[in-house]
Every structure is written in C-alpha cells, then in structure tokens.
Amino acid sequence: MCKNNSICYKKLHCAKCSIMESKKTYPVSWVVMQNTIQECFKSMSIDEKRLLILASPIARTMDATEKDAITITSEEFAKECGIKTNSAYSQMEEASKSLLRRYFSYGDNKKKIYCNWVIRAIYENGAISICFPDEVLLMLKEFDKLNPYTKYKKDIVLSLKKDYSFDLYHLAKKHQAMGQFEMSLEHIKNELGLPPSYDKLCNLKDRVIKPSLDEITKNTDIDLTYENVKKGRSVIGFKFTVKEKPKPKLIALERDQKTIDMFCKLTDAQINKYSSILSRVNDMSDLSTFPTYDAFALWIANILRDPESVRDETAKRIFKALHKYTDFKS
C-alpha cells in the first residue's frame, strides 16, 4: 500500500480565492512546482516523479482542470527521459497505477481531507492520459508568496537517472539563491524517504549523497558539494554548497547596424523606470532566477546600462522588450 503523505496545504486554498496582480508565466521548457510537492517526492519512484515533471508545464499552459486529461505519449516519455521506447509505455503505466493508489492528506485537528494524486488514467494508442484533482493541479499551477515554488529547466532535471538525484537537485535549486543549506542526518533521511539500511553513515554517503551529487554536478546547471557538520567527533548532518555553473559567453566579432541601433543609450532615470517595467513582463520571466522583482529589475538595469556585460543574445532580448513593451522612444 502506498504511503500516505501529510502535507501543509492551507495556503493552497488561499490561492483559489486570490487573483494575482502580476502572475508570472513560464515557457513549456520549464518545470515549475510548489515546494509542497517536494514533501511527497520522497516516497515516489523515479518514473512517478518523471510523470509529474512532464505534466507540470502541460497543466500550467493549458490551465488544466479536473476534467482535462494530460496526455503523454510513450515516444515523448522515452525521448525526454533518455530511455528505450519499447519500455517507456510499461514504465508509464506502472508509474500512473502507483500514483492512482497513492494519496496524501491535509487539514488540522478538526478536519482532515484525504486526496489521491491521480483521479483516473487512460491507456490507449501508446499514450497515457491522466486527470489530476484540483489539489494537485494547484501545486502545478499556482506560484506566489503564499505558495513558494522552485523552477528549473525540464531537460536538465530529466537528464538525472538516480532516484535521489531528483530530490537533492530540487532542494539545491530551492536554496540556490542562498548559496548553501544545512540538513541534519535525520532530516536528510526523512526528506529522501530513506530505509533503515541508510542509518549507517558510510551507506548514506557512498550510496546516496556522493553518487547523486556527482550526477548533479556532471549533468546539470549547478555544482553541488557537501561537507560534514560535526558535534564533537560525531557527524550530525551535512552542509551543501550550491554554485551556478558559469554560462559561456558568446563573443560577437561584429554587430550589424540593426544591433547597433537597438543598443541605445538611456539616462539613469530611464533605466530605473524601464527596468522596473520589464521585470514584470511575462515574456521575460524565464530569464529570472531572482527572489524578487526588485532584484530582477536591478539585473535588467545593469544590462540596459552596459549591454556588453552579458551574452549578445540576452542583451538583444532585453532591448527588444524595451521597444515592444514600454513607451521608450530612441
């Protein structure tokens, strides 16, 4: 029988009632999930996690309801996850069956609600169509201060093959802005849903931490390392350090006249005004890895001031948006 997960769900009800003034949108190449989902990942198989990751951008872009089926083909599953096509369908079927049996609960001492992860799953023509309940759809669609979330590129996370790499990568991206985070041994075992065999420190390090961090560092956009946290001589936890890998700069040997015309000079007052506006433009949201609009606006302001400080492609996007979404006239 699948393990019941009890999650903090009060904030999700607030999302049903609130209308966000400037709701962010993300392209289909991005996975965006509330951090609440991570609390339940620990008991899921790698293929269950893959199904949720693939469903995330589809549910978000189609604004899915309980009645809407989210369809994933075996070819798509195989290609996205880097597995053989002839085994993809059976893996998806087993994963969806497991999600159908799996449930979580939320509420308080007066009232507790139990909810399945999946309402129904239809198997036909080499594809699986899944219907999610409103509670799960909210975790895949609503992202704001009341519902903290983590985002990352879909192709990056799906390149991971080890069970615990998914969970540790999500935790690393969640804490990336801070650069590091600490976890006690008990917290790590609980967060990853580890069996008693990992109570031995050597097993935990050699079979979970080291191989997962090696895979994350090799295949993703971050370097993730760890060191022991000790109390006296005893190891009581780990401190993880998260560093974003440097992005390669594309050096343009020569800019054409259209590019030169696009990169126009702005006054400080204009930079302050338009960077604030652009930080809230939906088409620019995929460029943001910042916790607030003000921090994103500051990054944009630096590019408006000095376009050569970033890749030519990024600078062009910023200045095209300046001409398209603001009243700026060069």
pLDDT, tens digit, for every residue of 47-94? 999 999 999 999 998 899 999 999 999 999 999 999 998 899 999 999
Cα–Cα distance list, 213 to 78, 152, 247, 309 (Å): 24, 17, 20, 31
Q: Which of 29, 290, 34 shows the shortest CA–CA distance to 158?
A: 29
Res. 326: pLDDT tops 70: yes
39-74 in b/e burial notation, b at 16+ Cβ within 10 A?
bbbbbbebbbbbbbbbbbbbbbeeebeeebebebbb
Same domain, 9 and 135: yes
If asked whether residues 48 and 138 sit together in one domain, one would say: yes
Q: Tell whether 238 and 262 lie within a shared domain.
A: no
31 in any annotated domain: yes
Q: Which pLDDT tens digit goes with each residue over 155-186?
A: 999 999 998 999 999 999 989 888 999 999 99
Q: Fill in the amino acid letter for 7.
A: I
114 in a domain, yes or no? Answer: yes
> What phi, psi does 187 have (nearest 5°)?
-65, -45
Question: 200 and 107: one domain?
Answer: no
The reply to whether 32 falls in a domain is yes
- Domain count along the chain: 3
Taking residues 115-121, report their average pLDDT: 93
- For tokens 């339940």, name the residue: 40
Residue 24 has pLDDT above 80, yes or no: no
Please give the pLDDT value at position 130.
95
Q: Considering the domain boundaries, does residue 251 fall inside one?
A: no
In this prediction the pTM is 0.69
Mean pLDDT over each residue of the chain, to the nearest integer: 84
Check whether residue 59 and residue 118 sit in a common domain: yes
Helix locations, 127-256, DSSP H: 134-141, 154-157, 163-174, 185-192, 201-204, 210-219
CA torsion angle 122 124 128 132 (round to 10): -20
> Are both 63 and 203 inside the same structural domain?
no
Q: Tell me the CA distances in angstroms from 329 to 26, 262, 277, 280, 319, one per residue in order.
A: 28, 11, 15, 20, 12
At 35, the pLDDT band (50, 70, 90 cuts) reads confident
252 is a domain residue: no
> What is the per-residue pLDDT across 188-218, written as a single tens digit (0 to 9) for each?
999 898 999 999 999 999 999 999 999 999 9
pLDDT for position 14: 47
Instruction: Kindly state whether residues 10 and 126 are assigned to the same domain.
Output: yes
Domain's final residue, options 246, 265, 284: 246
309 pLDDT more than 80: no
Tell me: do 15 and 93 sit in the same domain: yes
Residues 236 and 279 in one domain: no
pLDDT score of 10 more than 50: no
Within-domain flag for 330: no
Shared-domain flag, residues 13 and 127: yes
Same domain for 72 and 39, yes or no, is: yes
Distance CA 220, CA 230 (A): 29
Q: Give the CATH number for residue 240.
A: 1.10.10.10
Q: Give residue 183's domain range.
A: 161-246
What is the rounded average pLDDT of the residues 226-231? 96
- Residue 155 included in any domain: yes
Question: pLDDT for 248-268, tens place per residue?
Answer: 554 443 444 444 345 677 888
Tell me which of 159, 181, 212 is where a domain ends.
159
Q: In the chain, what's the furthest Cα-to-Cα distance?
A: 68
Asked whether residue 35 is assigned to any structural domain, the reply reads yes
Least confident of 26-35, 44-53, 308-317: 308-317
Domain boundary among 193, 224, 246: 246
Residue 40 shares a structural domain with residue 80? yes
